[in-house]
Chain A
Amino acid sequence: GAGVSQSPSNKVTEKGKDVELRCDPISGHTALYWYRQSLGQGLEFLIYFQGNSAPDKSGLPSDRFSAERTGGSVSTLTIQRTQQEDSAVYLCASSPLGEGYNEQFFGPGTRLTVL
């Protein structure tokens, strides 16, 4: 079946512009996660959605970052007034259930470059 998909695969923007990154989770998966991976580093948790519960936003690095998940499916991560330090690969993952440990399935990521 189809895996997690993300778009665009690459995004180049100028400092100060807003960007939107999209994630389509695996159909039927109730939990959705965003992570950020800076060059040569591990993944850093950003935000987590589980069903209709309030999202866990504790990993968002600043108030320039926000995310929403419409209809319990597609999610959009928005970065306002982008800065050069926002350059990274943004990875989305989904899992069948959000409660407790479940395997997280990752998308290919969006590579964001802020000039």
Chain B
Amino acid sequence: GESVGLHLPTLSVQEGDNSIINCAYSNSASDYFIWYKQESGKGPQFIIDIRSNMDKRQGQRVTVLLNKTVKHLSLQIAATQPGDSAVYFCAEFSETSGSRLTFGEGTQLTVNP
């Protein structure tokens, strides 16, 4: 029989372009925000995190921006490469909610050569 699953938001870019992946969060009390990359058949891999008292943090080819006013988080990937193709999840951590991470729905990034 036919299987039906939820469709992730998708972003398709050309190799070498910059990518911006967005995430809306709900808990204004979150202390940290984290971006994970998940390739097919693998577990999530940490990319970068940002503390809630910051609005920008840079890593290697990645930048995370945090806008607490509108509860919005973004991940910018510079010079996107085919190896960046994956599902990207944002996650929240709150000290008052225990040590769990709360994950967003994910965005499928496809990089076309």
Contact = CB atoms under 8 A, between A and B. Distances in A.
Q: For chain A, what secondary structure do more than half of its interface residues adopt (helix, strand, loop), or is it mixed?
A: loop
Interface residues of B, number: 29
Interface residues of A, number: 31
B31 interface: yes
Contacts of B103: 35, 42-44
Contacts of B91: 43
Interface of A: 4, 31, 33, 35, 39-45, 48, 50, 56, 58-59, 91, 93, 95, 98-109
Interface of B: 3, 5-8, 31-32, 34, 36, 41-46, 49, 89, 91, 93, 95, 98-106
A108 B93 CA distance: 22
B101 A45 contact: yes
A31 B100 CA distance: 11
Given A33-B100, A103-B34, A108-B41, 7 more contacts: A41-B105, A45-B100, A48-B99, A58-B98, A91-B44, A106-B43, A106-B44
Given A41-B105, A101-B32, A48 B100 contact: yes
B43 A45 contact: no
5 contacts: A42-B103, A42-B104, A42-B105, A101-B32, A106-B44
